[in-house]
Amino acid sequence: MLQLFDSYTSLFKAWRVVRYEQEGDTHMLQVVARLQDNSRLDLRDYFFADGRRKYAYQWTNTDGTLRQRWDNAPHWPSIATAPHHTHLPNQNTPEPSVITNIEDLLRFIQMWFDEQYNEGN
């Protein structure tokens, strides 16, 4: 999974594994990254032996305000992509999300940066 970060090196100023644990079929990964615009990305991805998975990916601005968060907490069952959803700034209700893993997330952020830097060109 960490090889994904090598595939997206242009996104990162720095990243570090805060926690990685493996016990049998259970895996827990926490990563903190500083992106090229100095925004912060916090990743938590847990795979449990019984097949369940729990994840939360939070992208914040340099001042700590939310840019976007993705997770699969089950408390929004009415969302079309439940349990997967995304939280946007200044919205009380999350939106549907098809981003369900780190690879999808990094691809999304790369496209976001590409759009930002290509505006006006």
**Facing residues of 41 across strands?**
33, 59
Contact 47, 24 (CB under 8 A): no
Would 50 be classed as within a structural domain?
A: yes
The whole model's pTM is what? 0.92
- pLDDT higher than 90, residue 121: no
**Facing residues of 96 across strands?**
85
Q: Which of 10, 13, 15 is nearest to 2 (CA)?
A: 15
Would 49 be classed as within a structural domain?
A: yes
Domain count along the chain: 1
Would 64 be classed as within a structural domain?
A: yes
Per the omega criterion (within 30 degrees of 0), is the bond before 89 cis?
Answer: no
Question: Given this model, what pLDDT does residue 63 score?
Answer: 98
Question: Given this model, what pLDDT does residue 60 score?
Answer: 99
Would 11 be classed as within a structural domain?
A: yes
Domain ranges, residue 12: 3-112
- pLDDT higher than 80, residue 2: no
Would 58 be classed as within a structural domain?
A: yes
Q: pLDDT digit string (tens) for 38-73?
A: 999 999 999 999 999 999 999 999 999 999 999 999
Would 34 be classed as within a structural domain?
A: yes
Q: pLDDT digit string (tens) for 64-113?
A: 999 999 999 999 999 999 999 999 999 999 999 999 999 999 999 999 99
CA angle at residue 44 from 113 to 77, to 5 degrees? 90
Would 119 be classed as within a structural domain?
A: no
